[in-house]
Amino acid sequence: MEKIGFIGSYDKTDIIIYIAKILSALGKRVVVIDSTLNQKAKYVVPVINPTKSYVTEYENFEVAVGFENSKDIAEYLGVEKLETLFDIALIDTDSSKVLNDFNMKEAVINYFVTSFDLFSLKKGLEILGGLGETIKMKKVLFSVNGAPEENDYLDFLSSNYKIVWDEDIIYFPIEKGDLGVIIENQRVSKLKFKKFTPYFIDGFSKMVQEIAGVSTVELKKVFKRIEKGV
């Protein structure tokens, strides 16, 4: 099972579940693990009887909420290891404790997700302050226009942290209407891609291609199947 980390204080739950939707449409067995303080998945992913910790199926993937480590999830599901059930675990984290509890240093990819307000930047980096070893990470930046000065500022703030940044950066635009699409989809409890801007679709596509190693042609076919409900 490949672990993919989504690290930071920025709200990233919605992005993760859309990525899970695409990966599941590619035939991957996916679990989304919301280990954040706010546990947003509890409120945006439909569930009949939410408890303190549970696993629920949604859009052909699983969502785990309220667990402190992978072993607890496996025990809940009645298996010895999660690897027997899932190909990919997408882990949403916003604390250094969770990074260690889920052993995220062993993740195939660790994404640092942030916007450029100071809370998201500084609180997000604070999460990484408790790491004893250097960790390689890739930036996922929510920005109005992707100005180089923003990335330079993040590099400046993170210069004293044990982080090796990947050269490639994934951008998601804000203030272009995509948030409204997410909210609309939440109301109908469906993960639809049709109304997202091409920039948002491009962000999803780049991340899925990295995680699953699929071609652009195959990914376009998957998007079409999703929209047709196949």
Mean pLDDT of the chain: 91
Say if 71 falls within a structural domain: yes
Domain count, the chain: 1
Residue type, 133: E
Q: How far apart are CA 26 and CA 29, in angstroms?
A: 9
Q: d(Cα 54, Cα 155) in Å, to the nearest integer? A: 38
**pLDDT (mean) for 151-180:** 90
> Which element (helix H / strand E) includes 224?
helix 216-228
Could you tell me the pLDDT band of residue 50, with boundaries at 50, 70 and 90? confident
CB 7 within 8 A of CB 192: no
Q: In this model, does residue 182 exceed pLDDT 70? A: yes
CA 126 – CA 161 distance, rounded (Å): 9
Q: Which domain holds residue 124?
A: 2-216
Considering the domain boundaries, does residue 225 fall inside one?
A: no
Tokens matching residue 197: 């801007």
Is 222 within the bounds of a domain? no
pLDDT at 230 over 60: no
Provide the pLDDT confidence category of residue 226 given band limits of 50, 70 and 90: confident
pLDDT band at 105, cuts 50/70/90? confident
Domain annotation covers residue 76 = yes
Residue 221 falls within a domain, yes or no?
no
Considering the domain boundaries, does residue 228 fall inside one? Answer: no
The share of the chain scoring above pLDDT 70, in percent, equals 99
pLDDT-derived band at 229 (thresholds 50, 70, 90) equals: low
Of 105-114, 171-180, 194-203, least confident by mean pLDDT is: 171-180
What is 101-136 written as a DSSP string?
Answer: HTTGGG-SEEEEEE-SSHHHHHHHHHHHTT-SS-EE
* 179 within domain boundaries: yes
Give the mean model confidence (pLDDT) for residues 159-173. 91
| Residue 211 belongs to domain with CATH number | 3.40.50.300
* pLDDT of 75: 94
Determine which of 28-32, 60-64, 95-99, 165-169 has the lowest per-residue pLDDT on average.
95-99
Q: What is the pLDDT of residues 51-102, one digit of tens each?
A: 889 999 999 999 999 998 999 999 999 999 999 999 999 999 998 888 888 8
In a domain, residue 229? The reply is: no
